[in-house]
Structure 1
Amino acid sequence: MNPISTKMGAFYKNKKILVTGGTGSIGKQLVHQLLNYDPKQVIVYSRDDSKQYMMQCNYAHCENLHFSLGNIRDLQKLEYMTQGMDLIFHTAALKQVPICENNPFETINTNIIGSENVIKAAIKNQVKKVINISTDKAINPMNILGATKLISEKLFFKANSMNNNKHTQFSSVRFGNVFGSRGSVVPLFINQATSGNPITVTDLDMTRFFMTIPQAVDLTLKAAFYSNGGETFILKMDAIRIKDLAEVIQSYYNGMNEKNLIPIKMTGIRPGEKIYEELLTEHEISKALEDDELFVLTNDEGDFYHFKPASINSYRSDQVPCINKEKISNLFLNFLKTHNKG
């Protein structure tokens, strides 16, 4: 085990931790990893009773893992559930661009009001640290999802200096697209191909930043370990051309059934969709720090002595090298192996 892993293990040992959205793709794997660090208690707080039931069955042997049905829109319930907690990972959110576009008030109630409730509950109960999960869609947003996540980031940053906050440190992590997470483009393409339908691509030039679920979880765990309040942590990640991803998945399934070949269909950009994504604004880059794995936006109070000023001019998915199809294929095959969908 490397020194950072050893220190993180000591950091999480005997902690009481609440994970909002703990049955989601990221939340579930985050809980799994946290349990390896011997915390005193981990509470999964989420809305879906079916997902909680399945997760309870998988972790029936874990005496330090507990479950609570609840909604982050419910401030009173959050205030009750955060009593005595040392740490909160806030992963709960509405995340689908088209659904958020069509349901703006619901998205605001969850992504903004829900985040505000997490902040209020944490401050009231003097939780030591809160890590907010954000997204590259919060940078120069063109859609409801991005706008609400931008406001959520701002709320968590501002919460550090609120007059009634004397004990809680708030920080954020900013994700790219998480390869294979529920609701992402990979399961969509798989479902289209296995149903015999065309794989739909909205634009030939569309690019996205991608990270794996283990990378997303590792970033989140490191953020809580490093944070002193007010930081935003961003993983240095690869970009993928969506057309290349579609062609890799098309080739895989066409190789399995040469009699019924799956085509790729161009559909045009959806409302609120961008050709490329950004992980840092030009203004943020001027203040960002970096090491080999991360960029950090800091409030100048943290201990980031081993980081150096960022050496990039922009961080857009159309301006970094996209990984080739061989690497995409390896990612895809590993996803299938992990999820037993091959």
Structure 2
Amino acid sequence: MLDKFNDATLLVTGGTGSFGKTFVPMTLASHKVKKIIIFSRDEMKQWEMAKDFQDDPRVRFFIGDVRDRERLYRACDGVDYIVHAAATKIVPTAEYNPFECIKTNVNGAMNVIDAAIDRKVKGVVALSTDKASSPINLYGASKLASDKLFVAGNAYAGGNDTAFSVVRYGNVMGSRGSVIPFFYSQRDEDTLPITDTRMTRFMITLREGVELVWHAFEDMVGGEIYVRKIPSMNVVDIARVVAPQASHKIVGIRPGEKIHEQMVGLEDAPYTYEYDDYYKILPAIHAWHSSAERIKGGRKVADDFVYSSDNNTEWMTSEALAGWIDTNREDLAKPL
């Protein structure tokens, strides 16, 4: 249990997404929070989500957009902690709508930082992505900019005690836009589309993603990027588990898509420390990477260290994925 959440008010931006719909019930069950505010712009998703919490006075809903600075300031009044999950996340969507991507992922991050500081929020954890490491697409580039903003926000806060940190993880199993629900929706077809037979992905459950956010709030001083150690899997193996009878058609990678995911790049290695279950990338600015308060007994990684889904030492077995699918069939059967 996270003591700092006791009697605290939390706000989750983009809270009606896959992460928020897992974070909220897990946090309510495990922590003695006072209130969780769901901040998002889709009234229908809020309406549907509210049905699950209609008898719980701790859950509140607030229509708003992180692009709207004034509305965000209003939502942050009295808030102790923020989980920033709102983002434009689909790679091709960002490529074809670049202005909209920047407005949400970069300008929205700036608004969250300003609101948190001015409303004296105690701590903010922002959700990032593997695509922010050595980005080749606009989504990744915008999230790298967002990560940099949240790291620097600790200095920007000045005398305020607001702390900002980031969590970074790869393909979230079962989340909207991930490959497993897509393959599952096509499992009765004769053929599944495969982008590239070499493609690998990190595999993390939503529960593990929530636990990483909890750990970040517990451990953070400010400016850290947390990367959980998780297994990899080849996309062809995923397809064979989901639909073993289907043949495969190679369709090519989408605009801006990577063959392999990366969460710690070569340039991050000088500032990266290893722990039992995760890595921590410390800020290069202000000599924070040498701060004992932030390192906390971590082991410095090698100077040529890279953490990517193809060079991973841990791989998910077909049996493990099949077991996960059996447990989550009800959720996977829901419309994408």
TM-score when scaled to structure 1? 0.90
Relative to structure 1, the CA distance from residue 185 to residue 339 in structure 2 (aligned partners, 3 Å threshold; closer, same or farther) is closer
Residue by residue over 1:205-246, the C-alpha shift from the partner in whole angstroms, topping out at 9 and shown as x without a partner, is: 001111011000100111111111111101001111011101
Cα deviation, 1:265-286, whole Å, max 9, x if unaligned, reads 1101221111111110113223
Question: Does residue 1:122 correspond to 2:116, yes or no?
Answer: yes
Q: Match for 1:283 among 243, 256, 267? A: 267
1:292: how far off?
Answer: 1.2
Partner of 1:316: 308
| Residue number in structure 2 paired with 1:167 | 161
CA contact (8 A) 2:117 2:157 kept: no
Aligned partners of 1:137, 1:189: CA distance in 2, in Å?
Answer: 22
Superposition deviation, residue 166 in structure 1: 2.0
Change (3 A) 1:62 1:145: same
- What pairs up with 1:288-303 in 2 under 5 angstroms? 288-298=272-282, 299=288, 300=291, 302=293
Aligned to 2:285: none
Deviation track 1:177-213 (CA, whole Å, cap 9, x = no partner) reads 101101211111112224x363111100001111011
Which deviates more, 12-21 or 305-314?
305-314
Rounded to whole Å, the distance in 2 between the matches of 1:17 and 1:301 is: 29
- Measure the CA separation in 2 of the matches of 1:168 and 1:310: 29
Give the Å deviation of 1:338: 5.4
Give distance in 2, aligned partners of 1:109 and 1:234.
26
The question of 1:250 aligning with 2:239 is answered: no
Deviation at 1:128, TM superposition (A): 0.8
Candidates 77, 80, 86, aligned match of 1:83: 77
Contact persistence 1:228–1:301 (CA under 8 A): no
> In 2 relative to 1, CA 328–163 (structure 1 residues): closer, same or farther, beyond 3 Å?
closer
Distance 2:260 2:80 in 1: 37
Aligned equivalents of 2:199 and 2:159: distance in 1? 42
More divergent stretch after superposition (97-106 vs 326-335): 326-335
Distance 1:70 1:165, change over 3 A: farther
2:62 aligned with 1:68: yes
For 1:263 and 1:199, the matched residues in 2 are separated by 6
Corresponding residue to 2:98 among 99, 104, 125: 104
The gaps in structure 2 that reach 5 residues or longer are 283-287
Residue correspondences, number: 324
| Inter-partner Cα distance in structure 1 for 2:154 and 2:23 | 24
2:316 partner SS: coil
Q: Assess if the C-alpha contact under 8 Å between 2:275 and 2:298 holds in 1.
A: yes
- What one-letter code is carried by the residue in structure 1 that aligns with 2:9? K
Instruction: Give the aligned residue type for 2:306.
Output: S
Distance 1:171 1:319 in 2: 26
Inter-CA distance 64–301: structure 2 relative to 1 (3 Å threshold): farther
Kindly provide the amino acid, as one letter, of the partner of residue 253 in structure 2: I
1:39-74 Cα shifts (integer Å, max 9, x gaps): 111100011111111211111111111000111100
Moved more, 199-208 or 311-320: 311-320
Give the aligned CA root-mean-square deviation in angstroms.
Answer: 1.7
Matches within 5 A, 1:92-241: 92-162=86-156, 164=158, 166-194=160-188, 196=189, 198-241=191-234
The equivalences for 1:16-95 within 5 A come to 16-36=9-29, 37-95=31-89
CA distance in 2, matches of 1:106, 1:197: 37
Q: Deviations over 1:130-188 (max 9, x none)?
A: 10000000011111110100000001011111165622111000011101101211111
Q: Secondary structure at the match of 1:32?
A: helix
Alpha-carbon separation, structure 2, partners of 1:154 and 1:197: 45
Deviates more, 1:91-100 or 1:297-306: 297-306
Contact 1:207-1:276 within 8 A present in 2 as well:
yes
On the 8 A contact 2:184/2:333 being kept in 1, the answer is no
2:293 alignment partner AA: G
User: What is the identity, as a one-letter code, of the residue corresponding to 1:109?
Assistant: K
Question: Letter of the aligned partner of 2:319 in structure 1?
Answer: E
Distance across 1 between alignment mates of 2:259 and 2:324: 22
Q: TM-score, normalised by structure 2?
A: 0.92
Distance in 2 between residues matched to 1:291 and 1:267, nearest whole Å: 39
